[in-house]
Structure 1
Amino acid sequence: MTWLQIRLDASPDTAAPLEDALLDCGAASVTMEDNADQPLFEPPIGETPVWAHTRVTGLFTADTDMVAVLAGMQAIVGDLPNHRIEILEDRDWIREWMDSYHPLQCGERLWICPSWREPVDSSAVNILLDPGLAFGTGTHPTTWLCLNWLDRQALEGLTVIDYGCGSGILGIAALLLGAEKLVAVDTDPQALKATRDNGERNHIASERIDCYLPEDVPADLRGDLVLANILAGPLMELAPRLASYLAPSAPICLSGILDTQGEALIAHYATWFDGLVSDNREEWLRVSGVRNGPA
């Protein structure tokens, strides 16, 4: 199917009104993207960041009268910014994405392999992954940092808690590397479903994975290792809870932290953890340490 799209240059003040106008004029979808290669990092609570130079794109069916759309938008928002209308030929976007996603080595033993590709090294520990509807493909620096850390741990027989499990990639990696049990926690039910599905894809028995929404986590939950690849803000709030899951000397691995946030997060976690160290990849950090207290 052929589509028509209109692309408009916008600022933080005009992006939202243009989005509303496109939808009011019949757009099937509206997307916003960076128009000047400007990174956006974790925003303050309650704020929605928008790039200083944003491209707003509205998608319309091929039979849409785009002259009428432009007139309708002008009636809503006034003079339109720089814009252009294009014909968008239909493409198999899923297939193109699948073709671009390649196996990734995350340590000496560990590889992430898309479920539709053959492993590069059949003798390695290969996680067969289908991200599905949840975040976590292994390509993001924070995920890679955690996987690289896991690759160097002695995990045999441990119970691992993956808080903010996403696709389940970290917890499943831990199981394939020798852990006995995974407790996966996420606020998104789709993430829990993806974790179960990816566990099955990796031939992990269902009884080795327990999945919970945060409000359903057992009050007496204890583990031997905690993983949390979220963001710095939630990690700060979760520190007492994550610490409560661990006995003294048990390890923790945290990521989703910008290098500018590392010092404050380490100072905060030092209340509950000793030996905190960080490692970086691009502008992101991984922080790891062990639960303090009497042995």
Structure 2
Amino acid sequence: MNHIELNLTLSPEYAEILMAELAEMGYESFVETDTGLDAYIPESDFSEEKLQETLARYQPVAPVRFSWQVLEKKNWNAEWESNYAPIEVGDAVRVRALFHEPDARFRHELVITPKMSFGTGHHETTWLVMNEQLSLPHAGRAVLDVGCGTGILAILARKLGAADLLAFDIEEWAVENTRENFSLNEATEQSEVFQGTIDDVPFDQRFGGILANINRNILLNEVPRYAQHLLPGGWLVVSGFYEIDAPDIIAKAESSGLSYKRMNTRNQWAMVVFEK
């Protein structure tokens, strides 16, 4: 599946809010540049008409110029390899590619080879979730990774002691890549990866922990389902939304029988932890 690379030239102070709007339109990944912002969306979901309608609202106060191109999967892999840098969460976690040398300074080192650039772990929310995982009980628990991308959250869960892993994503490439990365990190035993949604998880299957780094709208729709799949005492970590959206997420979770524990933020992005 090809993706569209959208190149936006705009004033830096409008980058964050525009990212939020583009995410609502289906854009999956963002890279801030010297001139503005690059955004990526599956070719089948791209609409130049909708894009122009959105950008038109900015023109009176902050003119935005844009261009786009079809980005083939094979070309993007080469681009990724030339620019990818390891991700570090303090001195506890390091996410690297196969072509990087190991670094023994970190307690946990994850190795990934993304099929696409999306889900490499560089987004603020992925850092927030991984950082939070370090303080949550994983040992012996079954953990669910919702919208797994490259699978790095589930892989970290296994390194932290999770006994069983279930991960899913709607994208075929993500499922393939998660399986590959599970193998690279010796996380294939007692683990399953499938293409689908939360609706495909058996109704009576329960977990000691659920990781859901998606977006605001999906979380508002699905948090009650996550609560249903949690064991008593189980934890839920949600991210993929801005700090301003946290009250809505918290209200939805509490109305679903979950208890708010804490929140952390990074560059206006938020992560919230709940317990059943």
TM-score interval (norm. to shorter): 0.7 to 0.9
Tell me the equivalent position of 1:36: 10
In structure 1, the residue matched to 2:29 is: none
Q: Which letter maps to 1:152?
A: S
The alpha carbon displacement at 1:136 in A equals 1.6
1:174 to 157, 160, 180: 157
If the length of structure 1 is used for normalisation, what is the TM-score?
0.70
In the TM superposition, residue 203 of structure 1 has moved relative to its aligned partner by 2.0
Q: CA deviation at 1:122?
A: 6.1
RMSD after superposition:
2.6
* Aligned counterpart in structure 2 of residue 119 of structure 1, from 102, 107, 124: 102
Query: 1:63-92, CA deviations, whole angstroms, 9 ceiling, x for partnerless residues?
Result: xxxxxxxxxxxxxxxxxxxxxxxxxxxxx8
Work out whether residues 154 and 167 of structure 2, in 8 Å CA contact, stay in contact via their aligned partners in 1: yes
Task: Give, in angstroms, the shift of residue 104 of structure 1.
Answer: 2.0
The size of the alignment, in residue pairs, is 231
Q: Secondary structure at the match of 2:122?
A: coil
Larger % of helix: which? Answer: 2
- Within 1, Cα distance between the matches of 2:85 and 2:68? 29
Q: Report sequence identity in percent.
A: 28
Unaligned runs of 5+ in 1: 1-28, 60-91
TM-score, length-scaled by structure 2: 0.75
**Which of 240, 243, 249 is the matching residue for 1:259?**
243
Structure-2 separation of matches of 1:132 and 1:167: 8
- SS of the equivalent of 2:244 reads coil
Q: Name the counterpart of 2:270.
A: 285
Q: Deviations over 1:170-211 (max 9, x none)?
A: 111111121111110212222111111110111223543343
Could you report, residue by residue, the CA deviation over 1:264-284 in whole angstroms, capped at 9, with x for unpaired residues?
211221122113321100010
Q: For residues 1-295 of structure 1, what are the structure 2 equivalents within 5 Å? A: 32-37=6-11, 38-39=14-15, 40-43=18-21, 48-49=50-51, 50-51=54-55, 52=58, 53-57=64-68, 94-95=77-78, 97-121=80-104, 124-133=107-116, 135-214=118-197, 215-271=199-255, 272-291=257-276
> Equivalents in 2 of 1:196, 1:206: separation in Å?
11
Decide whether the 8 Å contact of 2:77 with 2:116 is kept in 1: no
Cα offsets for 1:83-131 (capped at 9, x unmatched): xxxxxxxxx8755532432222214422111222112226621000112
2: CA distance between counterparts of 1:95 and 1:220? 43
8 Å CA contact 1:113, 1:128 repeated in 2: yes
- Does the residue aligned with 2:162 lie in a helix, a strand or coil? coil
CA distance in 2: counterparts of 1:30 and 1:134, whole angstroms = 12
In the alignment, the residues of structure 1 paired with residue 212 and residue 4 of structure 2 have an alpha-carbon distance, to the nearest angstrom, of 32
AA in 1 matched with 2:66: R
Secondary structure of 1:240's aligned partner: helix
Misfit runs of 4+, over 4 Å: 44-50, 92-96
Any idea what SS the aligned residue of 1:247 has?
Answer: strand
Q: Which runs of 5+ in 2 are unaligned?
A: 27-46, 59-63
Residues 56/249 of structure 1: CA separation in 2 closer, same or farther (3 Å cut)? same
Determine if contact 1:255/1:285 at 8 Å carries over to the other structure: yes
Aligned to 1:77: none
| Counterpart code for 2:216 | A
Structure 1 counterpart of 2:37: none
